[in-house]
Structure 1
Amino acid sequence: MSGTGQDSDGHGRLGSMLSGLAVAVGCVLFLGGFAWGAVVYRPYTVPTESMTPTVNAGDRVLAQRVDGDEVRRGDVVVFTDRQWGDMPMVKRVVGTGGDKIACCDKDGRLTVNGIPVDEPYLRGSGPASVNDFTAEVPKGQLFLLGDDRTVSLDSRVHLEDGGHGSVPRSAVQARVDAVAWPLGGMIGRPRAFAALPGGVSSAGPLRLQLGAMGVGVLLILGGAVYGPIAARSKRNRRTKAATGAR
């Protein structure tokens, strides 16, 4: 009987230690992932329908804080430029410094340096632009278009103003990685731009941050549940031992 009681107490102490450790590690992962995300990402509300169907007006998106020099073709970016209204806007980068942008080829596609680009993210099945245009992107600049080319006021409009239609890389504040609300999932990097020199941007750390937070929640819940279960199991063993002694 004495040995059984000591084993039971030992198992109980081990269970309590494991439970506490799981909760502690879970808290570190959850809070660490949340803090990391708060530092790297910031939320934005999309103001217009110009990026439909990728993001819609009123959607809350998570955008990674990046320097403009990190931006690549295909990125959906948040930027502010005085010539565009001096307010945060969301558009897609289709050209960088030195690129020659034209639309449309015989198949209705946008071309970058003469290379046609398939854009499955566009709204509708028509040509990549309702109006033909050509542009050369100055060094250190970005050429930006909306995904709904029928309504988007983008670099094409500013070409008509007599300029080059682009904005400086320094105007970029962040790169959009996901639609947070309503839940819309991750925004990937278009494969078509990957074949061009410079490729596309690497994925942001959002998946890793969410994964750490998810594992943290599971460990916290598992540790919290294990404690009462272990205590009940200990009581049951003691009851059985006492009953057997009679």
Structure 2
Amino acid sequence: MSGAPPRRAGRVGRTLSGLAVGLGCVLLLGGFVLAAVLYQPYTVPTDSMAPSVAAGDRVLAQRIDGGEVRRGDVVVFEDDDWGPSLMIKRVVGIGGDTVACCDDRGRLTVNGDPVAESYLAGDSEDSAASAMNFTAEVPDGELFLLGDNRMDSRDSRSMLTETGTGTVPRDAVSGRVEAVVWPLGEFGVLPRAAGFGYS
């Protein structure tokens, strides 16, 4: 006769099955723990970032160091000059940049280059990137932040007169918004802002 006795083969099969289930549980729990370490959920407080994210949306933000922030990122930050709560805005300028608005076609410029901002609320060829004209030099280690809903956003433009530069320190950033997770109809990854060239 060849092969293992039926009882022994059944025991081995049950052991392997149990190991596979245990390994699956460990991997599943490990995935949840890893996600909790890398990502933080937030509820968007206002419509200042509409239509990208709206008031009441639940978003997932990757926990990042301020040094990882790039132009075009939508970030979560906290700064006492802006108020006591967490805020969500888009980075349009980093240290050393000159951010200005508007050029002769109503576009935002960074270091003299116009930025294509397809994510803006009410974006069209005829609409300006800002109702107010401004020019700002961004100090090293700071960020210039704007809301996508430029007609209804308290952002670096309104802070220009209050804080001088209107900027926020990089180390005030605690996360980069990666996805909308609620409501389900808006579920999806936030598109990258290609107009800034990912720098």
State the TM-score, normalizing by the size of structure 2. Answer: 0.88
Aligned counterpart, 2:109: 111
Aligned counterpart, 2:95: 97
Q: Distance in 2 between matches of 1:25 and 1:162?
A: 54
Do residues 188 (structure 1) and 186 (structure 2) align?
no
Aligned counterpart, 1:71: 69
* 170-179 or 46-55, which deviates more: 170-179
SS for the counterpart of 2:48 is coil
1:31 to 29, 32, 38: 29
User: Deviation at 1:9?
Assistant: 6.3
User: Deviation at 1:18?
Assistant: 4.0
Aligned counterpart, 1:230: none
Root-mean-square deviation over aligned CA pairs: 2.1
Q: Distance in 1 between matches of 2:104 and 2:112?
A: 12
**Superposition pairs of residues 115-130 of structure 1, within 5 angstroms:** 115-125=113-123, 126-130=127-131
Aligned counterpart, 1:242: none
User: Deviation at 1:162?
Assistant: 6.3
Asked if the contact 2:98–2:110 (Cα under 8 Å) also holds between the matched residues in 1, the reply is yes
> Structure 2: any 5+ residue segments left out of the alignment?
none
Aligned counterpart, 1:22: 20
Q: Residues 75-96 of structure 1: CA distance to partner in whole angstroms, max 9, x if unpaired? A: 1111111111132110010000
Counterparts in 2 of 1:5 and 1:139: CA distance versus 1, 3 Å: closer
Instruction: Specify which structure has the higher proportion of strand.
Output: 2
User: Deviation at 1:22?
Assistant: 2.6
Asked if the contact 2:81–2:163 (Cα under 8 Å) also holds between the matched residues in 1, the reply is no
Counterparts in 2 of 1:162 and 1:23: CA distance versus 1, 3 Å: closer
User: Deviation at 1:25?
Assistant: 2.1
* 153-162 or 107-116, which deviates more: 153-162
Q: Which is greater in Rg?
A: 1
Asked if the contact 2:70–2:91 (Cα under 8 Å) also holds between the matched residues in 1, the reply is yes
Counterparts in 2 of 1:23 and 1:123: CA distance versus 1, 3 Å: same
SS for the counterpart of 2:106 is coil
Aligned counterpart, 1:214: none
Aligned counterpart, 1:83: 81
Structure 1 counterpart of 2:191, one-letter code = G
SS for the counterpart of 1:118 is coil
User: Deviation at 1:189?
Assistant: 2.3
Aligned counterpart, 1:141: 142
User: Deviation at 1:19?
Assistant: 2.5
Aligned counterpart, 2:59: 61
Q: Distance in 2 between matches of 1:90 and 1:162?
A: 19
User: Deviation at 1:59?
Assistant: 1.2
SS for the counterpart of 2:160 is helix
User: Deviation at 1:14?
Assistant: 4.8
**Superposition pairs of residues 206-245 of structure 1, within 5 angstroms:** none
Where relative contact order (Cα < 8 A, 6+ residues apart) is larger, the structure is 1
User: Deviation at 1:181?
Assistant: 1.6
Aligned counterpart, 1:211: none
* 15-24 or 62-71, which deviates more: 15-24
Structure 1 counterpart of 2:100, one-letter code = A
* 86-95 or 184-193, which deviates more: 184-193
Q: Size of the alignment, in residue pairs?
A: 194
User: Deviation at 1:143?
Assistant: 0.1
SS for the counterpart of 1:161 is helix
Instruction: Specify which structure has the higher proportion of helix.
Output: 1
SS for the counterpart of 1:28 is helix
SS for the counterpart of 1:188 is coil
